[in-house]
Amino acid sequence: MRMKRLLVVLDGASDLPSPDLNGKTPLETARAPNLGRLAAISETGCAKIAGNLAPESDVGVFAVLGFDPYEFHVGRGALEAYGAGMRFKNGWLGLRANFATSDASGRKLLDRRVGRNLTTREAKLLEREVSEKVRLDKAKFVFRATVAHRAVLLFKASGLSRKISNTDPAYTMKGGLSSAEEKFEMRVLRCVALAKEAQKSAALVNEFVEKSHWVLQESKINKKRVSKGLLPANVILLRDAETRLKKPPSRFKNWAILADMPLEVGIGKLLEMKILPVATPTFTATDYPPRVKKTLAALKKFECVYVHLKGPDLFGHDGDAVGKTKCIEDIDRVYFGPLLKKLDLKNTRLLVTSDHTTACVKAAHTADSVPFLITSGGKTGGKYDEAHCRRKKAIAASELMPMLLI
């Protein structure tokens, strides 16, 4: 029987010691016997995603899939548009968007994610208002809400450039890649052209942010939220501009992908993986049983399967180490538990890792290495947590894929 390969990326599960967990990380604290069982028959270690850069998920995913992020990178704006099923034409400008909460001026930022309780339905209604009421002077646009507070924006015009700064203060462009900031001022930034040819793009971003703010400020949806004591989604943050979808040499045509979020779907489509649709995640234990079934079914049909589970990252961004621990326990119990009962480990090589560290103590991505385990078949006595894995010298994340595919 031909060897199968399974890659499971626990988004942002990697962490730093937390005082809320007596100086341990969620992975070190979680009761996760199934991950423990895997680690005991695996090679374990840690991997650096992008050197000293605190990477976003686009950088992290490409690195785990074997690409050097400094040699090959596609901006998140285009990837999310692609993953959300939007038509993207090279030359258009795509940006990742967040609904957020600001003061009435649209400048002072109160919450980057609308209290993380904006429903996808509410976001879709706000999308419609923005699309119908905002008119730009020199370009057309398409605005699409995706999951909860997340969205994508496309500008359709000639002469656009990706060389612009973000309006989201939590992320800064460094060396052509978007890097998470541990500390930042809570204000909506003005978009700045980073090259002469990007002045038009920067002006369009600033015009859209201002005009959409006034539409959202008057929205009945937001007024209803405020009447319930909830934050209004009255400003849109933009980041990670991109004008081209560059395809790398394809080596993933025999892969399938089950992904929770549009970004990972977009990367899968770009790499010509088979996209296996899954229900919009609720980020609770109820998400995992159908994903177990789809994982096992996919392994019967495809040589390699990539599974992306978003949950741990959310708790990291909220600084909730206890919630993140429970999320990891749910994944271990409801995803890995049933999976391992039916997975043929003699004929399946399994890699479990993260796309970046999301540290609860900083409520942000950091440049710290991520633990990994890759089944080897023999007893190793390994553990899948930071305390054990970071004892070893870190490898580059791009080295993980050759280890999985040997």
Tens-digit pLDDT profile for residues 163-211: 999 999 999 988 788 889 988 999 999 999 999 999 999 999 999 999 9
| Per-residue model confidence as pLDDT tens digits over 378-399 | 778 789 999 999 999 999 999 9
Confidence category of residue 80, pLDDT binned at 50, 70, 90: very high
Q: Residue 57's pLDDT is what?
A: 94
**DSSP β-bridge partners for residue 98:** 150, 237
pLDDT number for residue 156: 96
Please, what is the angle between helix 57-64 and helix 76-83, to 10°? Answer: 80
28 by DSSP, 3-state: which?
helix
CB 12 within 8 A of CB 358: yes
Cα separation of the two ends of the chain: 15
CA distance 395 to 393: 7
Domain ranges of the chain: 4-74+248-405, 79-242
Provide DSSP, 172-206: EEETTEEEE-SS--SBPPPP-BSSGGGHHHHHHHH
What confidence score (pLDDT) does residue 378 get?
Answer: 74
Going 128 to 131 to 238 to 242, the CA torsion angle's sign is positive
* 175 exposure class (CB count in 10 Å sphere: 0-12, 13-18, 19+): exposed
> For all residues of the chain together, what is the average pLDDT?
95
CA 284 to the chain's CA centroid = 17
Average pLDDT over residues 293-308: 97
Handedness of CA 193, 194, 195, 201 (dihedral sign): negative
Q: The whole model's pTM is what?
A: 0.92
Give the pLDDT band of residue 247 (cuts 50, 70, 90): confident
Pick one of 3.40.720.10, 3.40.1160.10, 3.30.565.10, 3.40.50.150 as the CATH number of 4-74+248-405. 3.40.720.10
Rounded distance, CA 238 to CA 97, Å?
Answer: 5
The share of the chain scoring above pLDDT 90, in percent, equals 91
Cα separation, 338 vs 343, whole angstroms: 9
21-36 pLDDT, tens digit each: 999 999 999 999 999 9
Residues in the chain: 406
pLDDT of 178: 83
pLDDT value at residue 376:
86
Residue 251 contacts by C-beta under 8 Å, 6 or more apart in sequence? Answer: 271
- Best CA proximity match to 404, nearest among 5, 2, 1: 5
Looking from the CA of 47 toward its CB, the CA atoms found within 13 Å total 30
Measured CA to CA, the distance from residue 313 to residue 334 in angstroms comes to: 18
- Checking 312-315 for CB contacts under 8 A at 24+ apart, the result is 312/10, 312/11, 312/12, 312/13, 312/26, 312/354, 312/358, 313/11, 313/12, 313/13, 313/57, 313/358, 314/12, 314/116, 314/283, 315/26, 315/360
**Residues in CB range of 314: below 8 A, 6 or more apart:** 12, 116, 283, 327
Greatest extent of the chain over all pairs of C-alpha atoms, in Å: 65
The residue written with tokens 């930022």 in the block is 109
Cα-only R_g, the chain: 21
Question: What local confidence, expressed as pLDDT, does residue 193 receive?
Answer: 97
